[in-house]
Structure 1
Amino acid sequence: MTTIRTLLRTDHDAWLPLWRGYLEFYEAELSDEQTTLTWNRLIDPQFPIHGALAVDDDGAAVGIVHWLTHAATWSAQPYCYLEDLFVAPGVRGAGAGRALIAHVAEWADAHGSPKVYWLTQETNTTARALYDRVATHTGYVHYQIGLGS
């Protein structure tokens, strides 16, 4: 059975391979400095980015999720953005992804957020099969403009 818990300062060595696996999956490269900054933000209770770890029955880390909230123009309460979700390839399909999403939804509900939302690649069919079961596909298309640094 998968257990979801808040990231602890002592989880760095368990979190890092999952973070790197996530970046590799999305063919993204971040500097070691950015990874360190991300980790420090996740474990800083004063910083508004949150993280949780999925662990299996043996206590091995098998997944991560990171989220944040932000003000919204269509709601008095902040929306919750699930920014990063990754489950180790060898345990996909066993419920860790669903449990991580549920953890964020429960946290967001407890903190008054009216919704949780996230993005994924159109080609991420494995994850999208789960997302179609636990959420509503809104039909929106994502655009972005890269700026400066």
Structure 2
Amino acid sequence: MSTVTVRPLQQSDHAEWRRLWTAYLTFYETRLPEEVYASTWQRLFTDGEFEPRGFLALLDGKPVGLVHYLYHRSCWSLVNNCYLQDLFADSHIRGKGVGAALIAAVKDEAAKIGVKNVYWMTHETNATARRLYDHVARRTGFIEYDLL
């Protein structure tokens, strides 16, 4: 049986991170300029309370998934919230626990600094992800709006 391990992103992961993040963006039919890739990669390793962080999931030692998350303040709590921003697993390994392991890693990391509220969004048509999310979290009922 294959084993999923999760660890923080490392500088040496750049090529695999880029491959996985590009696949995630492609899934959502999105493209970003090269400057955003470069800035995001740099920010993932920049010290700062509100800079994004990331984990890489490995299946039998091969990178197969990634998650980005960040902390932010709220008027509703004395401690930060944790927004799980991007979660992706290679399509050929979905259903093997990679997504759940990445979510658990973010939850555990947030708990280390006293953050209990870890939340995320997904598109309503993302049925595969929603099956996982319905299993590991509660649906809040909130609807997102954007001012573009």
Question: What's the TM-score bracket when you normalise by the shorter of the two chains?
Answer: over 0.9
Q: Which of 51, 55, 59 is the equivalent residue of 1:56?
A: 59
CA distance in 2, matches of 1:30, 1:60: 25
CA distance in 2, matches of 1:71, 1:108: 13
- Residue 45 of structure 1 and its aligned partner are, at CA, apart by 3.4
- Are the counterparts in 1 of residues 69 and 82 from structure 2 also a CA contact under 8 Å? yes
Equivalence map 1:64-103=2 (5 Å): 64-103=66-105
Equivalence map 1:1-149=2 (5 Å): 1-46=3-48, 48-57=51-60, 59-146=61-148
- Residue 97 of structure 1 and its aligned partner are, at CA, apart by 0.2
CA distance in 1, matches of 2:40, 2:51: 12
More displaced stretch, 18-27 vs 44-53 = 44-53
CA distance in 1, matches of 2:16, 2:72: 28
- Residue 18 of structure 1 and its aligned partner are, at CA, apart by 0.3
The AA in structure 2 aligned to 1:132 is D
> SS of the counterpart of 1:5?
strand
- Are the counterparts in 1 of residues 69 and 83 from structure 2 also a CA contact under 8 Å? yes
Task: Output one character per residue of 1:90-149: Cα deviation in whole Å (capped at 9) or x when no partner.
Answer: 100000000000000001111111210000000000000000000000001000112xxx
- Residue 74 of structure 1 and its aligned partner are, at CA, apart by 0.8
Q: Percent identity?
A: 47
> SS of the counterpart of 2:109?
helix
Q: How many residues align?
A: 145
CA distance in 2, matches of 1:92, 1:114: 26
The CA RMSD over aligned residues, in Å, is 1.0
- Residue 14 of structure 1 and its aligned partner are, at CA, apart by 1.1
- Residue 2 of structure 1 and its aligned partner are, at CA, apart by 0.7
- Which sections of structure 2, spanning at least 5 residues, go unmatched? none
- Which sections of structure 1, spanning at least 5 residues, go unmatched? none
- Are the counterparts in 1 of residues 4 and 97 from structure 2 also a CA contact under 8 Å? yes
Give TM-score scaled by structure 2 length.
Answer: 0.95
